[in-house]
Amino acid sequence: MTPLLEKVRDAAWKITARDVEGLTADELYEAVLPVAFAAADEKRRRAHEAVDAH
């Protein structure tokens, strides 16, 4: 599942059906949502830092 989570973090638009093959909806939600939220929060934090730096 690590390659899937790396894609979620770095390039979610590249996820294919093959990446999630064999996983239940519950497994996906439990694994993917925390990673997606953490990635979004990191991007938000960097954006705020960039704005504050100017």
Q: Convert the pLDDT of each residue in 2-53 to its tens digit.
A: 999 999 999 999 999 999 999 999 999 999 999 999 999 999 999 999 999 8
CB neighbours of residue 4 within 10 Å: 16
Structure-block tokens of residue 38:
């953490």
Structure-block tokens of residue 41:
């929060």
Confidence (pTM): 0.76
Structure-block tokens of residue 32:
């993917």
Its domain, for residue 40, covers 2-53
